């Protein structure tokens, strides 16, 4: 009988590690990257039998996507909890990982890697919608410099609401991709939740953190 592994990353974990009075941004970037790669490898290659030949592209692509969202949340938490905290490096890595995720997704996009996304060799409506939402979110992130977007996460500035828009887009991106399998727990490889579900939670969490921060600042002004 296969061993069921139960690991559920929580937003609390990210909040604790994102606090600005902790170690350098580089340290936490490394933690997120390693954790994302380890989780994707465990769930897909070890528990779900994805061939190791696909690890450098298919598996790491999932890791890059979720790491990008985790770092966006880390940046939001740092800026919201301390307006003086630096998060430019964290945000820059988030943008870079999002760009790599988009490129790899387009390279891999085929019925061989994503059979559920295709019907008669064409993208389904949900898959097409998910792709365009993800691309738009990545473009918005790339267009806005880290200093512009996160200059003052506590203020209801245009940059802040850009982050809200990105968080909403990526949450919908993940929702359209994996919603149908989120509640079928028997098919969770190793008992581990799909990365699309984790990505959705990260997107919604980022949105909540940014909106809460902006409202808190407005109330105290």
Q: What is the tens place of the pLDDT at every residue in 173-214?
A: 999 998 988 999 998 999 999 999 999 999 999 999 988 877
Q: What is the pTM of this model?
A: 0.83
pLDDT above 70 for 4: no
Looking at residue 3, its pLDDT comes to 43
- What the block records as the tokens of 145 is 């410099």
- Is position 7 within any domain? no
Number of domains the chain contains:
1
- Asked if residue 207 belongs to a domain, the reply is yes
Q: Is the pLDDT of residue 157 over 90?
A: no
Average pLDDT on 53-73 reads 96
The parent domain of residue 150 ranges over 23-220
Stronger pLDDT, 29 or 141, i.e. the higher one: 29
pLDDT at 152 over 50: no
Tokens of 203: 């997107």
| pLDDT of 84 | 60
In whole angstroms, how large is the CA radius of gyration of the chain? Answer: 17
Query: Would you say residue 6 has pLDDT above 70?
Result: no
| 3-class DSSP state of 50 | coil
pLDDT of residue 150: 52
Residue 92 lies in a domain: yes
Q: Please give the average per-residue pLDDT across 122-126, as a whole number.
A: 94
* Residue 132 within a domain: yes
Single out the residue of 194, 220, 210, 218 nearest to residue 8, CA to CA: 194
State the DSSP H helix or E strand holding residue 220, giving kind and residue range, or none if neither.
helix 195-220
Mean per-residue pLDDT for 146-165? 61
Residue 142 lies in a domain: yes
Question: Does residue 186 fall inside a structural domain?
Answer: yes
Mean pLDDT, rounded, of the chain: 83
Is 191 domain-assigned?
A: yes
Number of Cα atoms under 13 Å in the Cβ half of residue 31: 17
Residue 16 lies in a domain: no
């Amino acid at each position: 009988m296969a061993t069921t592994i139960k690991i559920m990353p929580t937003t609390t974990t990210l909040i604790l590690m994102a606090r600005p009075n902790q170690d350098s941004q580089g340290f936490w970037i490394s933690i997120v990257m390693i954790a994302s790669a380890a989780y994707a490898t465990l769930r897909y290659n070890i528990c779900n039998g994805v061939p190791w030949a696909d690890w450098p592209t298919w598996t790491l692509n999932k890791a890059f996507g979720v790491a990008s969202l985790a770092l966006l949340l880390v940046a939001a938490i740092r800026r919201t909890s301390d307006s003086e905290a630096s998060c430019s490096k964290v945000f820059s890595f988030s943008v870079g990982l999002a760009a790599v995720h988009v490129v790899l997704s387009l390279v891999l996009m085929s019925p061989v890697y994503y059979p559920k996304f295709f019907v008669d060799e064409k993208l389904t409506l949900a898959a097409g919608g998910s792709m365009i939402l993800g691309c738009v979110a990545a473009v918005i992130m790339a267009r806005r410099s880290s200093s512009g977007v996160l200059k003052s996460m506590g203020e209801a500035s245009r940059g802040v609401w850009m982050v809200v828009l990105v968080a909403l887009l990526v949450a919908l991106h993940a929702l359209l991709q994996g919603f149908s399998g989120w509640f079928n727990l028997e098919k969770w490889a190793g008992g581990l939740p799909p990365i699309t579900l984790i990505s959705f939670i990260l997107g919604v969490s980022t949105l909540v953190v940014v909106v809460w921060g902006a409202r808190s600042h407005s109330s105290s002004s």
